[in-house]
Structure 1
Amino acid sequence: MTITCTEDFRRLYKARVPKMFHDYAESGSYTESTFRCNESDFTRLNIRQRVGVDISEIDTRAQMAGEDAALPVAFAPVGMLGIQNIGGEIKVAQAAKQKGVPFILSTMSVASVEQVAKATGAPFWFQLYVVKDRDFVRDMIHRAKASGCSQLVVTMDLAMLGQRHKDVKNKLSIRPTLKNLINIATKPRWAYDFVSGPAVSFGNVVGHAKGVDDLASLLTWAAEMVDPALDWDDIAWIRKEWGGPVILKGIMDVEDARIAADMGIETIVVSNHGGRQLDGAGSTISWLPKIADAVGDRVELLLDSGVRTGMDIFRARGLGASGVLLGRAMVYALGAQGKPGVDRLLTLLEKELRTTMGLAGKTRLGDIGRGDVYWSEGP
């Protein structure tokens, strides 16, 4: 199959990965309206076509959270990445290092923060879930620091779990049901890699969280440790433990953005968890300009959820984001073709971004602004 775009990866990913893990990534909460709008609203944002500009040299280099990047993209934190493709976290981290873009490791990764650090030998970002066990949270912060992580990304929008009907119906578990085993048998490539690869163990949690010594106890811990008491005081405590700036992920309201700005947060990610939490929250791209207007230049904005193309990256830059996080697009490419797929995804996105910039008459990312995009209808 000739891969020319993210959609091609998505089709191949669906064919190669077991249904319960495919549905874990390719789903939202409740009616999935926000999940769908995240992607579809990008297509309602038109790009101004310009001509008569020298576009012989186009520069896609960017800065995100004060770090240089070859493209204005980072790989988003995704749980269970190492099950979508065995060794997935390390493969994506290595691809990110080679290309020169940030990789964000999830707390709920299969590979531990120490394993990723050893395999890459380069700084990466770490995403922190704030759970009830504050001793675990403190330990996780210091493990990330000791592993050389350059940024701490704190997820704010998981104080309770949104209901994801597909996961419930699929009985998503590390220990699959008979129905899931039958489906796995139809995915021989994935099954062979799973059986022949290293044992799956969520290295950030198993052996580190209280009472979590194996995968069975991990599942109980994960269901019970989501903390509904998470508030802004916790963020102040986390910043103190980390010893520097943190990035807040999951901001979807101008008031929350202002609170973050007032307490000195330097970077936030406009994110609705890929539509997997509050259904009906609206798309991230529709909220981005409102939040940008609210905080001005006090806070750097990143954006995730719904980004599939280089055109989407351009659109997000136009509405005020310095860069975007790639979640599902990364999962598609990794699940479809492993590390070569992730390498190919970055190559395609860079080509799409360069082409879009050129046809829009832009040679530098800093020249892209609000006047270069416009809504066909709606916001």
Structure 2
Amino acid sequence: MKRRMPKAADLAPLMQFKKPQLNAKTRRLEKALTIEDLRRIARRRTPKAAFDYTDGSAEAELSIARARQAFSDIEFQPAILRDVSTVRTGWEVLGGPVAQPFGIAPTGFTRMMQTEGEIAGAHAAGRAGIPFSLSTMGTSSIEDVAEANPQGRNWFQLYMWKDRDRSMALVERAAAAGFDTLLVTVDVPVAGARLRDKRNGMSIPPALTLGTVVNALPRPQWWIDFLTTEPLAFASLDRWSGTVAELLDTMFDPTVTFEDLSWITAQWPGKVVVKGIQTVADARRVVDLGVDGIVLSNHGGRQLDRAPVPFHLLPDVVAEVGNDTEVLLDTGIMSGADIVASIALGARFTLIGRAYLYGLMAGGEAGVDRTIAILSEQVARTMRLLGVTCLEELTPQHVTQLIRLAPRPRLVNHLVR
């Protein structure tokens, strides 16, 4: 091989130096290419108790692990030689337009993860043209969220408390503030056993113990923000002093029944969606009550460990009630490919909880924007690679669910009891 000294003219095109990004937040968010990247940044920047509250689930955390595994265990079936120069990622959900097939799920204690909290999420959702959901356990008021997202779609998630009048007062406030959809959550008769929170002594507000101080030393910005902004307040109550589990157990009502669901539905002027459906039979029963939608969800694995995997349940529920209502899905979603697979198998919409909070903890409102941008890019790219130009073209033929956990045949018990 003959060699020569390179000429300046040869080197010039190769020497393209990128202008340095001086803003540290922008720099770290630009480097995040996946939701898992945002999760790693969030873990570095957030105290252990707050991060674990977001990241963890119930008991052995099998439900969330299985939900994420279910999305890994799919095989796409792409079509080739289609014109996919343009794709449309939005359609109508629950009577209104959405720009993407995902929205922000309701999350509790959000300002404890990062002080911008729900307001950051509402701002980002409004810009992106996707719904924002406020939890009963949210840390911004109903009215403040409505003000932060005045032209966007706001949804309110309701836990039915033992104090019914107090619960319905929240519903009335949400309706008056223009929230268009009520998410009635039905999988919380009691709080799940969230062992990370117990081991961390997770309390509201966070306690300044020796352990939390030591853990905070490499994360001073979180504590500066927490201590120099307004104290935590809630969408549903003014203050609380105690552990998270104690708070939840005082609020959740184990006596709620289908009759209560019918009564709640009659009080709400907009769309009613039941969140926490985990069997085909319950899907059919609540749809027969006339609700506008259901969310297949095991609460992000945070209630009953070893609960059904929503993504596995999706095809059967769609076959049973898909012609009668809109089927939404959450739990375990970490990529745009997960979202596209869900739509292909019949979901009308998906909700992201942890993915949104990872972005929030990684960079506040800009981090939520980054979460939405990552997922939006992945949705569009996956659709193009599948050979579809709009959500309507996605069908079950595009996705194969590979079997990893298959149920054993049940033995009929003939014993008389």
TM-score range, shorter chain: over 0.9
Q: Within 5 A, what are the aligned runs for 1:145-184?
A: 145-173=175-203, 174-176=205-207, 177-184=209-216
CA 1:244–1:339: 2 relative to 1, 3 Å = closer
Q: Within 5 A, what are the aligned runs for 1:129-278?
A: 129-173=159-203, 174-176=205-207, 177-206=209-238, 214-216=239-241, 221-278=247-304
Structure 2 residue matching 1:246: 3-state secondary structure: strand
Root mean square deviation of aligned Cα: 1.5
CA 1:50–1:258: 2 relative to 1, 3 Å = same
Q: Within 5 A, what are the aligned runs for 1:33-48?
A: 33-48=62-77
Q: Which amino acid aligns with 1:341?
A: G
Alignment partners' CA distance in 2, 1:35 and 1:87 = 26
Q: Which amino acid aligns with 1:47?
A: F
CA 1:175–1:277: 2 relative to 1, 3 Å = same
Alignment partners' CA distance in 2, 1:105 and 1:321 = 22
Residue 105 in structure 1 maps to residue 134 in structure 2:
yes
Q: Which residue of the other structure, out of 392, 410, 416, is the alignment partner of 1:366?
A: 392
What's the counterpart of residue 323 of structure 2? Answer: 297
8 Å CA contact retained: 1:6, 1:308: yes
Write out per-residue CA displacement over residues 102-155 of structure 1, whole angstroms, 9 at most, x where no aligned residue. Answer: 000011111111111123323411101111000101101101111111111110
8 Å CA contact retained: 1:205, 1:218: no
Percent of aligned pairs with the same residue? 36
What's the counterpart of residue 210 of structure 1? Answer: none
Write out per-residue CA displacement over residues 202-227 of structure 1, whole angstroms, 9 at most, x where no aligned residue. Answer: 24212xxxxxxx32279655332211
Structure 2 residue matching 1:215: 3-state secondary structure: coil
Alignment partners' CA distance in 2, 1:137 and 1:204 = 8
Write out per-residue CA displacement over residues 76-120 of structure 1, whole angstroms, 9 at most, x where no aligned residue. Answer: 000011111102100000000011000000111111111111233
Structure 2 gap segments, 5+ residues each: 1-27, 407-417
Alignment partners' CA distance in 2, 1:217 and 1:141 = 26
What's the counterpart of residue 348 of structure 1? Answer: 374
Alignment partners' CA distance in 2, 1:149 and 1:43 = 35
1:242, CA displacement in angstroms? 1.4
- The farther-off stretch of 48-57 and 329-338 is 48-57
What's the counterpart of residue 209 of structure 1? Answer: none
Alignment partners' CA distance in 1, 2:376 and 2:327 = 20
Q: Which amino acid aligns with 2:221?
A: R
What's the counterpart of residue 110 of structure 2? Answer: 81
Write out per-residue CA displacement over residues 226-262 of structure 1, whole angstroms, 9 at most, x where no aligned residue. Answer: 1100111111111122134311000010000000111
1:62, CA displacement in angstroms? 2.0
Write out per-residue CA displacement over residues 169-193 of structure 1, whole angstroms, 9 at most, x where no aligned residue. Answer: 1110024133123212321111111
Write out per-residue CA displacement over residues 342-369 of structure 1, whole angstroms, 9 at most, x where no aligned residue. Answer: 1111111111111111111100100101
Alignment partners' CA distance in 2, 1:237 and 1:99 = 34
What's the counterpart of residue 356 of structure 2? Answer: 330
Structure 1 gap segments, 5+ residues each: 207-213
- The farther-off stretch of 60-69 and 325-334 is 60-69
- The farther-off stretch of 288-297 and 95-104 is 288-297
8 Å CA contact retained: 1:106, 1:127: yes
8 Å CA contact retained: 1:63, 1:72: no
Across the two proteins, how many residue pairs are aligned to each other? 372
1:266, CA displacement in angstroms? 1.7
Structure 2 residue matching 1:234: 3-state secondary structure: helix
Q: Which amino acid aligns with 1:275?
A: G
CA 1:62–1:133: 2 relative to 1, 3 Å = same
Structure 1 residue matching 2:400: 3-state secondary structure: strand
8 Å CA contact retained: 2:190, 2:248: no
Structure 1 residue matching 2:241: 3-state secondary structure: helix
Q: Which amino acid aligns with 2:43?
A: K
- The farther-off stretch of 125-134 and 291-300 is 291-300
Residue 63 in structure 1 maps to residue 88 in structure 2:
no
CA 1:3–1:221: 2 relative to 1, 3 Å = closer
Q: Which amino acid aligns with 2:376?
A: E
8 Å CA contact retained: 1:304, 1:325: yes
1:50, CA displacement in angstroms? 1.9
Structure 1 runs (4+) deviating above 4 angstroms are 217-221
